[in-house]
Structure 1
């Protein structure tokens, strides 16, 4: 049990209460205290005298306008009379913090928004704040258009935001920085989103008298038995593969892993295609270019040829729908897929006992491929006033702390101004252990209530877990029959956490590998799209037997000649 973290959360809540009571001030609806006049300088909240908690949630003495550019989903709408700059979120910011949001422009999320961001940077007409990808954050920072928030962010970030940043081991701030200076507020993702596990029908294993897999040899043997015994009848598919919209493995520009891809298979062979690595001598290499990657492709091709992998991989409309149909025995995916992703599998067959496991190397070591710590960035115009920069940071603080206060049924969180999503890197693992503690009776749901923490869903999770898992027995592996599906949404979340994230939450990782770069170099801007297309085509053809392994060798030569060697040099220069 992570006892120290829970104790620190409880102490933090008690200290905040004491601080408010000691000041003789009454909390507002936002849970903030009034600002003593001595802590206001020139109409601005002083970050020198204010404590971290106070500065992070202070109300400006005068209204501060923040002009933004906003992406809007074409499918999300607001109730009549409301708009992107007049809704529950903008009202909340104005009422509680004197922050007035002014939307200079909107664009449809996706390509339209990206084009608008590119135009703003090219013409040096950034609004006060907007959210961007890493590529555009770097472009704007290197062209001198962004506010250097290095010191201000440290002064103004809330304890919850600081907790999130520290949970990434410094990676989030590093990825939001250029030449050692921070130019953006990073959005973060749970680390396990990039970690792939194997999901397997435990009821099929039990029926066939098989143990859960540990190595790739075990996976192959199970696939062989499933192919022979056909637990789902003639349509049995031992291992699902990627569909036409997904890939065989993730690349350096992706945060989350794929559903149906084979990242875990490559990791078990200590190879990491699609990302850039530094070898033991500090030299930059491309993970696809390795003897181990070549050998893994040959093994996957052998599995496909023997009928172990879905024969329609790469062309099937939906791998998820295939899994939901009950025909699949195994698939690789992220923690959330076993619950959130395949809900219809349980509606179709409530006895489908999907279980998640780690896959080890042949010498029983657990190697994983992890994605970027960040998923996006909120940037601030270098010409913005200090108050505006502070306001933008406060907006990020408030979203993390108060997200659960809002009714999102009619006003989706996508309408939060310059929304920067933040989750502690270890949120799923921490939650897993606290759920087990509650189920074991070591803690009670009441222990988690009223605590201001970056783990914003934890209080609700622990409050429902006993109802969702009535069949829990300490020391016994959870099974589908231990869960109640009465509240299906709660069931999906609990199953994802307690089954899907169990491998990463309970297994010691012997080696965690990330790309040494997460953004494009100058040559990539003109060459990468073609190189990646070539790579995906080669991989799919080799695995499905349309090309033999010589196609891999030819691809590596072509990759190097058509820009790969130059890209490796550029990546090395960034190290």
Structure 2
């Protein structure tokens, strides 16, 4: 795409009413120098808007209206054209776009373990931004460990999405726990008993056995399986011992324990029978409609409650982040070591260093507190308010969902500022997510690279995914699953192991 050369914009905006709600002195430091980075702007150039396209992921049913978008454009002196890709089809759409070269000035890449994505990054398709970040007042604050985790063989191919280290956890119907006379579970055995009671003891009191303990969806990574796996002590992706030997998570005893646990849930009806063909939105609806009582994803607790309005009056929810395997220790898997992906800049669209710098300034400005609030809450007084206790509260849910919600997952940083939520369940969930940092289990391969994994790792992963689903549903026994593991190794897994071990060795030198 042919674009004009646009120079840097200089502006300073401080929203004092928001500082008291979400940042204190840290917020003052972060926003007080907004827009002061980069090269000087020639006279007359500052009024020209930056025209940019953004290939982005849509996590809601519909794209946002222009209400908040226009405010973001006004603040960042830009004109944004979004090309939204539905989350459910992102893998196919993004890999197709990478293969065809039909990209945009900014490309949201969240599938950092996808072989097509990693191959495209390593091929030189995108700019290396590592040397530029320290020139911008917000981007320079991205921690070194986050930059390392977001890099491939030491090269940073985009601005990292900064996420909490580990957001995973359970949401459980507290009112159902009270009905069946059980406490909030703290062990896997207790959790199993909760799932059983939610299925067999009529927790909704309608006189019918029409509820299920675990709702779930067709995604081993973001379903209950990955979380349960970390509770059992399974390594996150890979195990590496003191000698540098790598073992894939699915070749460990703990992974097999998780398979058996999930299989028992499924065979007894405590895990939704249709989980293998259920999408995330359907899983949420099942929970909101009172069909299931355990949901994986603490971060969704408020949305679940909102979805239940008019369907499940009196619903009480409790977020749970500490479940042990009985040894009294807690573990939770970390997605990307605090990295949610990259905002990448393809060289086919961003042809000059000057264009890259202007786009980096745009991303830098998105981290300013004012834009963070626009992308999180919308317009103060229209979409949200800050109450007397300093808590954030949505005023009009329907308007917020239409104008604001789709932008929430596009924030370059979710950790620079924090808001006290007026909803006590959501606030508790937020605090537990922060607590997860204390026992998060990292994936040692995040900053490493394997040529074989890049080439065909995603396709090979289907061998294990299919075998895991079949095992849970009783279509495969332990011997059959172990055969699938051997098939993975013969298909290139052994080479992937060797390449990770070599990359790890080099990184340690």
TM-score (structure 1 length as normaliser): 0.64
Is the Cα–Cα contact under 8 Å of residues 201 and 329 in structure 1 kept in the other structure?
yes
Look up the match of 1:235.
Answer: 209
Is the Cα–Cα contact under 8 Å of residues 299 and 430 in structure 2 kept in the other structure?
yes
Look up the match of 2:394.
Answer: none
Structure 2: which 5+ runs fail to align? 1-19, 384-398, 505-509
Is the Cα–Cα contact under 8 Å of residues 236 and 329 in structure 1 kept in the other structure?
no
Structure number with bigger Rg: 1
In the TM superposition, what whole-angstrom CA distance separates every residue of 1:130-176 from its partner, at most 9, and x where no partner exists?
A: 554646775466445554433331122x24x444x23xxx3431244
Look up the match of 2:345.
Answer: 379
Look up the match of 2:366.
Answer: 399
| CA-atom RMSD in angstroms | 4.1
Query: CA 1:502–1:558 in 2, change beyond 3 Å: closer, same or farther?
Result: same
In the TM superposition, what whole-angstrom CA distance separates every residue of 1:514-543 from its partner, at most 9, and x where no partner exists?
A: 252378844335543443222222212211
Look up the match of 1:359.
Answer: 323
Q: How many residue pairs were aligned?
A: 438
Equivalent residue of 2:55, what SS? strand
CA–CA distance in structure 1, aligned partners of residues 291 and 83 of structure 2:
45
Choose which of 296, 302, 327 in structure 1 pairs with 2:264.
Answer: 302
Look up the match of 1:223.
Answer: 195
Report which structure shows greater RCO (CA 8 Å, sep ≥6).
2
Shift of 1:370: 0.8
Are 2:446 and 1:517 equivalent residues in the alignment? yes
CA–CA distance in structure 2, aligned partners of residues 311 and 369 of structure 1:
25
Single out whichever of 233-242 and 62-71 deviates more from structure 2: 62-71
In the TM superposition, what whole-angstrom CA distance separates every residue of 1:315-342 from its partner, at most 9, and x where no partner exists?
A: 45632222222232333x1222222135
Is the Cα–Cα contact under 8 Å of residues 241 and 313 in structure 1 kept in the other structure?
yes
Spell out the pairing of 1:434-445 with structure 2 (5 A cutoff): none
Is the Cα–Cα contact under 8 Å of residues 137 and 377 in structure 1 kept in the other structure?
no
Is the Cα–Cα contact under 8 Å of residues 226 and 236 in structure 1 kept in the other structure?
no
In the TM superposition, what whole-angstrom CA distance separates every residue of 1:333-358 from its partner, at most 9, and x where no partner exists?
A: 12222221353334322222221222
CA–CA distance in structure 1, aligned partners of residues 157 and 287 of structure 2:
43
Shift of 1:413: 7.7
Choose which of 540, 547, 554 in structure 1 pairs with 2:469.
Answer: 540
Look up the match of 1:282.
Answer: 244
Structure 1: which 5+ runs fail to align? 17-30, 33-52, 95-99, 251-256, 428-453, 466-490
TM-score (structure 2 length as normaliser): 0.71
Equivalent residue of 2:298, what SS? coil
Query: CA 1:305–1:396 in 2, change beyond 3 Å: closer, same or farther?
Result: same
In the TM superposition, what whole-angstrom CA distance separates every residue of 1:275-320 from its partner, at most 9, and x where no partner exists?
A: 2332232222211111121122122222322333223332456322
Query: CA 1:501–1:310 in 2, change beyond 3 Å: closer, same or farther?
Result: same
Choose which of 234, 247, 250 in structure 2 pairs with 1:271.
Answer: 234
Equivalent residue of 1:191, what SS? coil
Query: CA 1:92–1:305 in 2, change beyond 3 Å: closer, same or farther?
Result: closer
Look up the match of 1:9.
Answer: 26
CA–CA distance in structure 1, aligned partners of residues 329 and 461 of structure 2:
30
